[in-house]
């Protein structure tokens, strides 16, 4: 009897993949395998412009590189095997850290601070049927509350997958951060509808979500300030008109949260509109609170003898009184990625420019944040909202496998304001990670050093284990 039960469970998991109902791969939590997956995504056509990646999508793409890049294919395929079990532990990590008392947040790490002395995380997935699964994940750092990520119930099929829970949304082809929605802030509970399998040969993808943000202070409504829990709506559409090129359209709408009655129906109407009357308190003090942003993104993968991926996005903050009178409400990001400089080395460079008013809001005194952390780019945490300066960031990353079981990953980040900035210098950060692979997982060391915009140095050394 037990043999039949085991066989049935295996069939459930395999059918779930076959139907396209797919769990999600790690996002800013397991860098060793994520760097390998990014190579697969850059070496295959019709790449998605959002994250986290669906395991089923990466499996399909990984098959395409089997003959040209067999070693990369085997590495990713071995990792994906853990997601095929009916009940599986998919990630475990632990780290201990020592350094100077620097309480600033680590970029893209869900609000976790640099002064945390230890951190643990784990995640797993359980298939209930071919059309439903449960996923769970959490990260805990000392001095912080446990943060749930990739924790949700999912049901549906390949063209309509619904998730309810703490499912993250990264709306951008960028790797170092995203303009509209990233992992920089703590995840919020949400409901998401998307497709696991691209639609038609044009690789059409869609994603729509509704999230409830945490309590915030200073929501302007009808001339008064209130506290409340704002809502966040998100929309993403993408299409690949030719095999190597994907173009996408994304929208987010942060709305309500105070003493108003903006319905979710009205909010969705604003979400599908390029601008709305609900985010202009200076023009209409009786308007209902909302903060709208739009981004156009694009990615081109050129799988030549020397492969290269070129990508970027242009974003706008939709406030009519700003759009008509100013030009300081935009953001621009650009990146280039060489996944195979050699079989063992990859290089990536990214640039971002944030205009003065892009993350500001007439209704939300905390701006485009959740629990004080920028919902989009990490540079939003470096500049107080009252410091209205144009911000530019640069990010350079090298990943080098210098031995069959050892990897060095180096990232250099800088962020600076224009001549109106209150700071005396640019923010600078250098992160060096050494990873040693064993049959039981990765062991390694992390070094994070730098200076903030006022010349204060920070240093942090971590030892970690990841599986």
**414 assigned to some structural domain:** no
**463 assigned to some structural domain:** no
- Mark the ranges of the chain whose per-residue pLDDT is less than 50: 1-16, 276-278, 283, 320-325
> What pLDDT is stored for residue 3 in this prediction?
41
Distance CA 257, CA 290 (A): 9
**275 assigned to some structural domain:** yes
> What pLDDT is stored for residue 19 in this prediction?
58
> What pLDDT is stored for residue 144 in this prediction?
85
**42 assigned to some structural domain:** yes
What is the per-residue burial (b if ≥16 Cβ within 10 Å, else e) of 323-352? eeeeebbbbbbebebbbbeeeeebbbbbbb
**384 assigned to some structural domain:** no
- Among candidate residues 412, 414, 416, the one with its CA nearest the CA of residue 354: 416
> What pLDDT is stored for residue 278 in this prediction?
46
> What pLDDT is stored for residue 193 in this prediction?
98
**383 assigned to some structural domain:** no
421 and 389 in contact (C-beta within 8 Å)?
A: yes
Q: Report the 10 Å Cβ neighbour count for 426.
A: 18
Query: What is the span of the domain harbouring residue 374?
Result: 2-378
> What pLDDT is stored for residue 423 in this prediction?
64
> What pLDDT is stored for residue 291 in this prediction?
86
> What pLDDT is stored for residue 7 in this prediction?
38
CATH number for the domain spanning 180: value is 2.40.160.130
> C-alpha 340: how far from its chain's center?
23
Q: pLDDT, tens digit, for every residue of 336-390? A: 999 999 999 999 999 999 998 899 888 888 889 999 899 999 999 998 877 788 9
413 and 375 in contact (C-beta within 8 Å)?
A: no
The number of domains in the chain is 1
């Amino acid at each position: 009897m037990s043999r039949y039960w085991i066989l049935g469970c295996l069939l459930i998991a395999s059918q779930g993949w076959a139907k396209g109902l797919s769990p999600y791969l790690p996002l800013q939590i397991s860098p060793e395998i994520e760097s390998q997956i990014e190579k697969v995504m850059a070496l295959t056509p019709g790449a998605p412009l959002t994250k986290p990646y669906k395991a089923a999508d990466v499996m399909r793409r990984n098959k395409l590189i089997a003959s040209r890049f067999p070693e990369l294919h085997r590495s990713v395929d071995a990792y994906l095997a853990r997601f095929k079990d009916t009940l599986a532990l998919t990630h475990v990590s632990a780290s201990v850290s020592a350094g100077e008392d620097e309480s600033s947040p680590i970029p893209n790490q869900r609000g976790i601070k640099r002064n945390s002395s230890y951190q643990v995380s784990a995640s797993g997935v359980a298939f209930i049927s071919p059309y439903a699964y449960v996923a769970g994940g959490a990260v805990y750092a000392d001095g912080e509350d446990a943060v749930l990520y990739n924790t949700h119930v999912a049901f549906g099929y390949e063209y309509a997958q619904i998730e309810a829970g703490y499912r993250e949304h990264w709306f951008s082809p960028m790797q170092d951060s995203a303009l509209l929605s990233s992992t920089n802030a703590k995840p919020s509970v949400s409901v998401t509808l998307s497709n696991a399998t691209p639609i038609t040969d044009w690789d059409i993808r869609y994603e729509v979500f509704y999230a409830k943000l945490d309590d915030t202070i200073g929501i302007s409504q009808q001339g008064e300030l209130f506290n409340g829990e704002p809502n966040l709506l998100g929309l993403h559409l993408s299409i690949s008109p030719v095999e190597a090129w994907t173009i996408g359209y994304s929208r987010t709408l942060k709305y309500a949260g105070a003493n108003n009655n903006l319905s979710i129906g009205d909010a969705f109407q604003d979400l599908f509109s390029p601008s709305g009357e609900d985010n202009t308190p200076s023009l209409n003090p009786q308007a209902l609170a909302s903060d709208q942003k739009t981004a156009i993104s694009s990615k081109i993968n050129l799988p030549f003898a020397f492969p290269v991926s070129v990508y970027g996005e242009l974003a706008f903050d939709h406030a009519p009184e700003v759009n008509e009178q100013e030009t300081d409400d935009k953001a621009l990001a650009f990146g280039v990625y060489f996944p195979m400089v050699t079989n063992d080395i990859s290089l990536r460079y990214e640039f971002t420019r944030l205009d003065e008013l892009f993350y500001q809001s007439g209704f939300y005194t905390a701006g485009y944040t959740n629990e004080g952390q920028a919902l989009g780019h990490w540079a939003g945490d470096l500049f107080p909202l009252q410091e209205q300066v144009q911000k530019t960031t640069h990010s350079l990353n090298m990943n080098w496998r210098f031995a069959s079981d050892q990897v060095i990953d180096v990232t250099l980040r800088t962020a600076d304001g224009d001549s109106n900035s209150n700071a005396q210098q640019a923010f600078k950060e250098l992160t060096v990670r050494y990873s040693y692979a064993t049959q039981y997982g990765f062991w390694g060391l992390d070094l994070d050093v730098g200076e903030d915009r006022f010349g204060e140095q920070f240093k942090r050394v971590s030892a970690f284990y990841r599986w």
